[in-house]
Amino acid sequence: MVWVWVVLLAVLSLWVGWRLLLRSFVRQYFTKNYAPIQLSESQLGYFPPDHHLQDVPWCSTRETYCQANTLQMITHQQGRTASRDEINFLMGFTYGASALPKIGFSPFTDPEPGHAVAAPYLGLVRHYYVTRDPKLYLRALRFYLSRGHPLHVPLDYAVLYGVRGFIPHSNLLVGYDQNGFYYYETVAMQGSSLEPGFRAPGEQGLWVSDEKLLEAALSQSRHFKQPWRYAFALFEPWPTQSDLKPVWRRNARLLMGGEKYGPKQGADAIAQTATQIQKHWRSINPQEMCLFLDSAAYTRRDNADFLRVHFAEEEGILQAANLLERAAQLYRSVQKTIQKGLRSQAEANQVAAWLNEAASAEWEVGSIFARVAHTSKQPAPQTDDIEETQP
């Protein structure tokens, strides 16, 4: 019986070792890509019992462009304007995909590194503060708001509004009182009382208690296994960058995938979903998958329109826009079929074929972007009409 215990101990050691290794990879990813700054009391000072910013517009959309809307409001406060689609492009937020834990993919990329990349093109620099101390977190939020900074807060939409599931989200804090915070909701979900559009600076916004904000922020960090519990970002003026080659290069990588480790990304995540549907079509969650397919369709459509308007002179970009338009059509076809419920292997095969075609189209767009990164001389687009944010 001794050998049995030896084997069990060996297996346990391997399992524990793998968990520790995985945790190390996760920590390394967040440290490298988020550039977190640990909060400390020495960074803070006096703040009044209540304060509200009066120079931030309120932008919200029906589409789930929460991250771009957040950065757009901050940019406008700094006296500059940029369209939502321009910010999506600079962030790479809607140029790529991420595999979901079960079956499916999200048509978005990690927004936090995207904020850091986009900021210099908007004349900003991002500072991402983190802590495990809830009291320090709340004091820091109030201190920096009192100093005139609107604050990007990553949180769980489901916890914030008391709905089922987990929904990663971004809202913008614009004020506080002694018991909670005022924020601008970035997404006007279908069925909610909030209407999408642009509101002039000075709106009071929605209110959330200290306790609910902490709960929503903690839920998001725990879900992603981040090495901190609470986080927020502020942006300050910075010399403007105009060379778009790094953006083209990064977006190409996000679209094409090719990651050796971790969840599939880009075209690989979409192709993986096609294979999963062929094998496990009876066990897919139509409601969840259709939500992401809907997002995939409108993000690719909006990306195509943006590229045609701003980069038509770049070699291959009109082709890239057409490919994204085709991918959007394919996602709509998949969505309509899955909504009705897959009834046979033949239908699953057809859906998989559409997804594989979409994956190939997105990979080819990435390939075009990679070529543009070597030849582009065009600076970042300058858009002056913030009304573009309206649906």
- 24 Cβ partners below 8 Å, 6+ apart? none
Q: Are residues 227 and 304 in the same domain?
A: no
pLDDT in tens, 87-97: 999 999 999 99
270, 162: one domain: no
Look up the domain containing 371 and give its range. Answer: 245-378
pLDDT tens-digit map of 249-287 = 999 999 999 887 778 999 999 999 999 999 999 988 888
Q: Is 379 helix (H, G, I), strand (E, B) or coil?
A: strand
Whole-number Å distance between alpha carbons of 297 and 97 = 12
Collect all residues with Cβ–Cβ distance below 8 Å to 326 and sequence separation of at least 6. Answer: 357, 358, 361
Q: Which of 237, 268, 293 delimits the end of a domain?
A: 237
Q: Provide the mean pLDDT of the chain.
A: 90
For 272, the enclosing helix (H) or strand (E) is: helix 266-280
pLDDT exceeds cutoff 80 at 81? yes
In terms of Cβ atoms closer than 10 Å to its own Cβ (0-12, 13-18, 19+), residue 309 is middle
382 pLDDT higher than 90? no
Examine the pLDDT at 387 and tell me if it is beyond 60: no
Indicate if 173 and 51 belong to the same structural domain.
yes
Domain limit, last residue, from 175, 203, 237:
237
Q: Identify the residue with better confidence: 16 or 74.
A: 74
Task: Grade residue 23 by pLDDT with cuts at 50, 70 and 90.
Answer: low
Is residue 181 domain-resident? Answer: yes
Whether 232 and 249 share a structural domain: no
Residues 355-368: what's their mean pLDDT? 98
User: Is 61 within a domain?
Assistant: yes
Instruction: Report yes or no on 365 lying in a domain.
Output: yes
CA angle at 31 for the pair 24 and 369, rounded to the nearest 5°: 110
Asked whether residue 341 is domain-assigned, the answer is yes
| Residues 233, 305 share a domain | no
Q: Looking at the structure, do residues 225 and 352 belong to the same domain, yes or no?
A: no
Position 388 pLDDT exceeds 80: no
As beta bridge partners, residue 156 has 168
Query: Are residues 253 and 232 both part of a single domain?
Result: no
Is the pLDDT at 25 greater than 60, yes or no? yes
Are residues 296 and 165 part of one domain?
A: no
> Structurally, how many domains does the chain consist of?
2
Q: Alpha-carbon distance 9 to 28, whole Å?
A: 28
Q: How many residues does the chain have?
A: 391
* Measured distance CA(153)–CA(359) in Å, rounded: 32
For 190-236, write each residue's pLDDT tens digit.
778 899 999 999 999 999 999 999 999 999 999 999 999 999 999 99
Q: What are phi and psi of 175, to 5 degrees?
A: -175, 175
Q: What gap in Å lies between CA 108 and CA 300, rounded to an integer?
A: 11
CB atoms within 10 A of CB 104: 23
Q: Same structural domain for residues 314 and 347?
A: yes
Beta strands in the chain (DSSP E): 36-38, 51-52, 58-60, 98-99, 105-106, 124-131, 151-156, 168-176, 180-184, 197-199, 206-209, 230-237
The pLDDT, as a whole number, for residue 385 is: 38
Shared-domain flag, residues 157 and 260:
no
Please indicate, yes or no, if residue 3 is contained in any of the structural domains: no
Residues 54 and 159 grouped into a single domain = yes
Give the residue-averaged pLDDT of 317-325. Answer: 97
Q: Among 216, 237, 258, identify where a domain stops.
A: 237
148 and 189 share a domain?
Answer: yes
Q: Is residue 106 part of a domain?
A: no
- Do the domain assignments include residue 51? yes
**Global pTM value:** 0.89
Would you place residue 144 in the very low, low, confident or very high pLDDT band (cuts 50, 70, 90)? Answer: very high
